[in-house]
Amino acid sequence: MSDRYLTFVNTPFGRTAAQSLGLPAPVPLKRWKRIDQPFIEGDVLIGAANGSKAIGAIGRVLGASPAKLFHASAVATLNDSAKSGNKAEALPLDGDGGDIERKFSALVFDATGMKDTTDLRAVYDFFHPTIRKLSANGRVLVIGQDPASCRQPAKAAAHQALEGLVRSVGKEIGRKGATANLLWMAPGAEKQLDSSVRFFLSPRSAYVSGQVTRIGKSADAPASNPVAPLAGKVALVTGASRGIGASIAETLTRDGATVLGLDIPAAMEDLQSVMSAIQGKALACDITDEKAPKQIADFVKEHFGGIDLVIHNAGITRDKTLGNMPEHFWDMTIAVNLTAEELIDEELMHQELLRENGRIVCISSISGIAGNFGQTNYATAKCGVIGYVEAMAKRVKNGVTINAIAPGFIETQMTAAMPITMREAGRRMNSLSQGGLPIDVAEAIAWYCNPASNGVNGNVVRVCGQSLIGK
């Protein structure tokens, strides 16, 4: 279903009409288009609080892009690898930003050096003169230290404070299609930053804003092919016949994986057509069937010998207020959205089919975070998904990670079936004033699956355009 309002306000007449009526005027989001497209282009300004540790890694990642780098000389004391390795040009900032004529495609600030809340001033000094210079579809990325790893309360407070900053910046810049996100790095996890810096600065994260991702320290990531990072990997995608699942299957294939797509027997025709376009394999299976976990594991063993990426995408809604909800609505919704995932993982692990450095990705929902009228069953299941991911993240071994995506309003058959008022509210009630596309969820999953994302474990990242609903 197309968003006619988005198309309309991007005509000259529509823009004027929206302005005069005070209506939101969403900017079309730039998404990642070509396999050889650099993750970022244009001018990028980087800065750091004194003593920050991540700036070298950021400089290295950005140095490999065609972006022209500047460093904010007035606030940052950059280490040599950030400056010289990437030939970042010093840019003096004054209070008004009046000396900066150029527009930036990204503003990146390394705050990991902050020791207490007085150091937050460095954040203001960097962003105040520059934030208005951020271009449409631009990126703000802040890197702090995970507050859980800060021993001093004043230091923990300073790093926690960045969450409030980023969420507010996201709301201020969303009207130009720009996003703001925060990475909380564990001490010593500089080498684990690369894939996340690339993702959050690139058009792949077009619909992700106001999010905090924890990056843990882990073994060095194995070298991977930047154009096909998932080459040699086998991915199971449930609910792959349409919508978000089909897009996940296509995106993981684009990144080099071989896909085993699964869906209910009634969806076989659609599943076959998605799989034949990507040379994937199709499996007819109702994941709530008690034989399903074994059926899936046996299929994986026979056809692939093991599995690297398990994407639990299949989901259903059966909406009714709690008092009116028949018990089969409750049972089915919990079974598909939550219990089936646990049982499938259990069987794959029991049969030792999940390979080293494997990835499990579950799909939650903003309904699971905020709750939703008429969705007690769905929100219960999707909140349970978060609990499952957080608990499993502490248990997984052999380089395996488990994370969740919580989509907001994504344009699919599921949301097309909503009443028009709810659909329009879902589309507009976020910082970017538009719905997301299945590809936005798929790109975030591809980031989790990247071998270089081995420090990203136990996270729940929302792909919701920074929905006003929930945290």
Q: Which residues carry out catalysis? A: 378
Q: How many residues bind ligand NAD (CB under 6 A)?
A: 27
Q: Could you write out the DSSP letters of every residue in 176-222?
A: GT-EEEEEEEPTT-GGG-HHHHHHHHSGGGTT--SEEEEE---SPPP
- The residue from 174, 177, 229, 239 that contacts ligand NAD (CB under 6 A) is 239
- The residue from 59, 144, 243, 465 that contacts ligand NAD (CB under 6 A) is 243
Q: Could you write out the DSSP letters of every residue in 291-357?
A: THHHHHHHHHHHHTSSEEEEEE---------GGG--HHHHHHHHIIIIIHHHHHHHHHHHTT-EEEE
Which residues lie below 8 Å from residue 64, measured CB to CB, with a gap of 6+?
Answer: none
- The residue from 140, 236, 314, 449 that contacts ligand NAD (CB under 6 A) is 314
CB of 345 to ligand NAD, least distance (A): 15
CB closer to ligand NAD, 192 vs 317: 317
Amino acid at 436: G
CB closer to ligand NAD, 198 vs 382: 382
Q: Listing from the earlier edge strand, what are the strands of the sheet with 258-263?
A: 281-284, 258-263, 234-238, 307-312, 354-363, 401-407, 460-463
CB of 267 to ligand NAD, least distance (A): 4
167's torsion region: left (phi>0), alpha (psi -120 to 50) or beta?
alpha
- The residue from 216, 245, 358, 458 that contacts ligand NAD (CB under 6 A) is 245
CB of 426 to ligand NAD, least distance (A): 7
CB closer to ligand NAD, 57 vs 336: 336
Q: How far apart are CA 69 and CA 64, in angstroms?
A: 11
**Binding flags for ligand NAD, 388-417, as an x/- string (CB under 6 A):** -------------------x-xx-xxxx--
Per-residue CA distances from 115 to 51, 144, 160 (Å): 9, 11, 12
Q: How far apart are CA 372 and CA 370, in angstroms?
A: 7
CB closer to ligand NAD, 255 vs 411: 411
CB of 362 to ligand NAD, least distance (A): 9
Task: Name the one residue in this structure whose structure tokens are 């079974």.
Answer: 335
- The residue from 211, 224, 365, 431 that contacts ligand NAD (CB under 6 A) is 365
φ, ψ of residue 185 in degrees (nearest 5)? -95, 135
Helix residue spans in 36-152 (DSSP H): 55-63, 80-83, 121-127
Restricting to residues 252-311, name those near ligand NAD by CB under 6 A: 263-264, 267, 286-288
- The residue from 244, 296, 307, 354 that contacts ligand NAD (CB under 6 A) is 244
CB of 265 to ligand NAD, least distance (A): 9
Structure tokens that stand for 456 in this block: 């990203």
Residue of this chain nearest to ligand NAD (CB atom): 315
CB of 81 to ligand NAD, least distance (A): 41
CB closer to ligand NAD, 415 vs 431: 415
The residues of the shown chain that bind ligand NAD, judged by CB under 6 A, are 238-239, 241-245, 263-264, 267, 286-288, 313-316, 336, 363, 365, 407, 409-410, 412-415
